[in-house]
Structure 1
Amino acid sequence: MKAPTSEQLTSLLAVIALIPNHAIRYIALGLLLAAATLCKIHLQSPSMQLSRLEVSLNHTEEYIQETMVEVPRSYSKLTEQMRRLLEVAKTGSHIKCRVLRSETKAFNWKGLRSLSQDIAERMTRFRSLCNEIGECIRCVKDIRTAVELILEAERQRKLAGDLMETQSTFAII
């Protein structure tokens, strides 16, 4: 599920504004608000964040492998980044196991007091899971940035070599 774009939301609000009956307009606006809230909750859920993390991990792994082929001189640096990426993938796997275990547990129905404590514990775990997943996503971004810097440094080295070669060619002429 993708987040709605601002153009889509603007067009929906424009359509709602064209409804002549005030009651129906406010009902439609309420439904739109409820749908937007549910969409935001769904997009912020740990399972969606984990799927984004997995996609980011896969793209970054492919990028590192492509860079290893393109820049064989920096193989050791790229191998270190791949190791870091695998550590993040392992952490993501542990988080996914925790999410799957928590989804299989049912609420404790031993009374309203224990239910409210159970909800508070679940919300605390939810926040900590989201924070951990967010940290993993930031680590993947840092790894990708490090790989891009390695690639750019190699490009600069090649450009500097080409520049020196061109200057020496002009010096001979």
Structure 2
Amino acid sequence: LAHYYGTHYLRHGKRPSQLNAMDLMHYFGNKSNTKERLTLFNEVISKLEEDFGTWNLPWGDVNRYQRLNGDIYQKFDDNKPSIPIGFASGRWGALAAYGVSYSNNTKKIYGTRGNSFVAVVEFGDKVNAKSILAGGQSGNPESPHFDDQIELYANAEFKDVLFYKEDVIKHNIRTYHPGN
């Protein structure tokens, strides 16, 4: 509800000029006209009830990951498979930011990207690292690495980083030698 309200307020709320994004959010929440706030809030409630039958929705029911092909700009579709994502846009202060698109004609919110790469590294006698990536490494829908990391991302599960040569060799699928 808060996400829809904030987005609707950004699009339709009256705003003083020359406020940065943080000050604008503070203005909308604390200093804007109360009647305007309630009007915009009620518009959001009505739209959610029209689209989903209720305003009281689990976030994962409407905030979805959907990557149907290798296109950079996806054409999202409410009737095609998607995965629930618990993260929100960095616009709202989320550290594990999830980028979504509002330019589609869908009822749900869809995205294909998040923090491009997040890693946690422990330095010591031996480097130990974990990472997470939104989606997959490949832009080719035929590749096994097109969406192979989205479930990990959706569940906020980190994978081991293969830092040392022996670890890479142990887990390799195939090897390549230039010139051969």
For Structure 1 versus Structure 2, the TM-score category normalised by the shorter chain is: under 0.3
Higher strand share: 2
Which of these two proteins has the greater Rg computed from alpha carbons? 1
Higher helix share: 1
If asked which structure has higher relative contact order (CA below 8 Å, sep 6+), I would say 1
Normalising by the residue count of structure 2, what TM-score does the alignment of the two structures yield? 0.25
Normalising by the residue count of structure 1, what TM-score does the alignment of the two structures yield? 0.26
